[in-house]
Structure 1
Amino acid sequence: MILSLRVIARSLSALLVINLICLLIRKPFLPWFYHWMLACPVVDKRCNLFWQKWPFFEKLVWKILDQIETHYQV
């Protein structure tokens, strides 16, 4: 009984620490990620973003960028 409570307490504390780290990193990281994903390569004349080559990946990235745009000031 006590062993299972210790395991539950340790797992909940680990989850809390992971959540706090994510909350602290998310604010500066997500706007940077947004600008990095939309930055055009310097050497190309046309702006071909590397993630637009694959349709599934492109759709996923656009959804992520829309979420960042609506929830954070970029």
Structure 2
Amino acid sequence: MLFSIFSEIKKARKAVDFKRKMIFLEYDLQSELMERTTSSATIEERHELHKKFLADCDQLTAECQKWLNFIEISKTMEA
């Protein structure tokens, strides 16, 4: 049982790391595209991009918290 828990945690860590990299890459690419295509990107457009980035980060944080809670529950079950 303990091995399967560690295996799940390892998979989750890889998935979270991949998602984190994708969030930052997408934000960087969209931000750069906005800069290159028009120097007159409106404040509202930039604000929307930033809001999406923050929402993606919040979602990833919630997913990490879910796994941390799972780990804590697993520790208490093992004890």
Report TM bin, short chain: 0.3 to 0.5
TM-score scaled to structure 1, two decimals? 0.41
TM-score scaled to structure 2, two decimals? 0.38
Q: Relative to total residues, which structure has the larger helix share, 1 or 2?
A: 2
**Greater RCO between the two (CA within 8 Å, min separation 6)?**
2
Q: Which has the larger radius of gyration?
A: 1
